[in-house]
Amino acid sequence: MAQQEDVFKKLISHSKEYGFVFPSSEIYDGLGAVYDYGQNGVELKNNIKKYWWDSMTLLHENVVGIDSAIFMHPTIWKASGHVDAFNDPLIDNKDSKKRYRADVLIEDQIAKYDDKINKEVEKAAKRFGETFDEQKFRETNPRVLENEAKKEELHTRFAKALNDNNLEELRQIILDYEIVCPVSGTRNWTEVRQFNLMFSTEMGSTADGAMKIYLRPETAQGIFVNFLNVQKSGRMKIPFGIAQIGKAFRNEIVARQFVFRMREFEQMEMQFFVRPGEELQWFEQWKQARMKWHKALGLGDKKYRFHDHDKLAHYANAATDIEFEMPFGFKEVEGIHSRTDFDLSSHEKYSGKKIQYFDPELNKSYVPYVIETSIGVDRMFLSILAGSYCEEELEGGETRVVLKLPPALAPVKLAVLPLIKKDGLPEKAREIMDNLKFDFQCQYDEKDSIGKRYRRQDAIGTPYCITIDHDTLNDNCVTIRYRDTMAQERVPIAGLEAIVRDKVSLKNVFKKIAES
């Protein structure tokens, strides 16, 4: 675990050193849980968004996009349930004066049982070597079984407390399991209270009578209130989806873990409108489709898992998370929810406008049901960074830090490096760059030794470096160096575009999704 935390710290400092993520307002000592994306971070983030957007709108004929405003009529948040029910249970430690989410403290406690079980499995795997049967061990080892039973007991009690909205019971669990404040180490806890996560501001001047409005805590409501606009103007037939990427804001109590939990973040959400009664079938379909989308990036299938919700949100009749193995354990990156007709019906009620779809095949009108896929751009970004970060020992005792980013997402696709800064090599390098810069994000670098320049590109995940040497001037060939293997080969300049395009195009990732 300590080793994992160490990796996480390194990842955070690497992100800053190489222009991926900076703390917001840093020269004023920062602002809690708000971050800025740097020159490489914004490219990676844009590539992630493009991967999502294109997969939704190009691969699905019946999914279209919108871009709704962040400011919306305040009654929307009443109708959606956010004014009354968008709360987190918080608890304070009286000694450290630190505030925590009661549910997160208990979830961390549950995760400790998993850690214990995994340690037993690791120990046994080492002891038994190749003959080790992990499944049998998990099913029969008394210590594993004991920890499984304890975990299950806590989990059941916790799920019931959440579902009953029983704040006293949440506190009692914290006391019974002797959960201590990580800062003070004491169990001197306050009561558990509910805390609404929405930020509010005012629109209009006070003289006119200002209106309290909210910064949206999810982009989904912008889609719901535009359901009729899109359906009618696009002549959409059910089933169909509306996709949107945009900022969302939440006044998170426990803002930690870097860009995992931010107060200002970005979501990529898609609402898929279906016939009532068909929603669970579509839920299953989107669950599988979204998992394929993640796995197609090639970071390793074992890094992903589903986690079904213990407590369904006020609008859902089924929900699951796609979790990724972050340096701090498996954590939610995406939520897939069957939201029933809750939102559209509620907007019908609050707005007084009929929000229904006439189904020509059934010859009747109904309020459609909704399957939602909702993924945080920033969490996806973190999962990609964490899954790509490697420290490698090289021959001669040297080490290199390399981001083995999926090439289609890498901020820079190709580095163009003249071997030396004279003899016409920079001019030749510029000529190559000028040809390729319309197709790919290229970076020109002539400073320092070639080895140092390779390291700089490894550190930002550039899949290809090409070196222009004296021979290039005669044979029109360059040396291409591959990031992951560090292998080098001589290729004609005329073939470069095809080589690079083959690996960095999103098309190949989409083909993988289609084949899987």
Q: Which residue type sits at 109?
A: Q
Q: Is 68 in the site for ligand GAP (CB under 6 A)?
A: no
Within 210-249, the residues that bind ligand GAP by CB under 6 A are 218, 220
Q: Is 267 in the site for ligand GAP (CB under 6 A)?
A: yes
Residue where the block lists tokens 């190489």 = 18
Of 108, 120, 148, 252, the one binding ligand GAP (CB under 6 A) is 252
Of 334, 445, 458, 469, the one binding ligand GAP (CB under 6 A) is 334
Q: Is 335 in the site for ligand GAP (CB under 6 A)?
A: yes
Of 90, 173, 375, 409, the one binding ligand GAP (CB under 6 A) is 375
Q: Is 379 in the site for ligand GAP (CB under 6 A)?
A: yes
Structure tokens at 452: 């140092």
Helix or strand holding residue 436 (H, E): helix 425-436
Helix or strand holding residue 319 (H, E): strand 318-326
- Of 289 and 401, nearer to ligand GAP (C-beta) is 289
Angle (nearest 5°) at CA 260 between 370 and 506: 65
Of 250, 347, 413, 428, the one binding ligand GAP (CB under 6 A) is 250
The answer to whether the Cα torsion of 108, 110, 114, 116 is positive or negative is positive
CB atoms < 10 A from the CB of 181, how many? 20
Q: Is 333 in the site for ligand GAP (CB under 6 A)?
A: yes
| CB of 372 vs ligand GAP, minimal distance in Å | 6
Angle (nearest 5°) at CA 15 between 13 and 17: 65
- Of 375 and 386, nearer to ligand GAP (C-beta) is 375
CA atoms within 13 A on the CB side of 493: 20
Separation CA 94–CA 186 (nearest Å): 9
Task: Work out the angle between the directed axes of helices 102-128 and 167-176 (0-180°, nearest 10).
Answer: 40
Of 214, 227, 265, 272, the one binding ligand GAP (CB under 6 A) is 265
Q: Which spans in 63-166 are helix H? A: 75-79, 82-85, 102-128, 134-140, 142-163
Displacement of CA 28 from its chain's centroid (Å): 28
- Of 337 and 413, nearer to ligand GAP (C-beta) is 337
| CB of 226 vs ligand GAP, minimal distance in Å | 15
Per rule CB under 6 A, count of chain residues that contact ligand GAP: 19
- Of 375 and 504, nearer to ligand GAP (C-beta) is 375
Q: Is 338 in the site for ligand GAP (CB under 6 A)?
A: no
- Of 373 and 462, nearer to ligand GAP (C-beta) is 373
| CB of 326 vs ligand GAP, minimal distance in Å | 12
CB 442 within 8 A of CB 416: yes
- Interface with ligand GAP by CB under 6 A: which residues? 218, 220, 250, 252, 261-262, 265, 267, 269, 332-335, 372, 374-376, 378-379
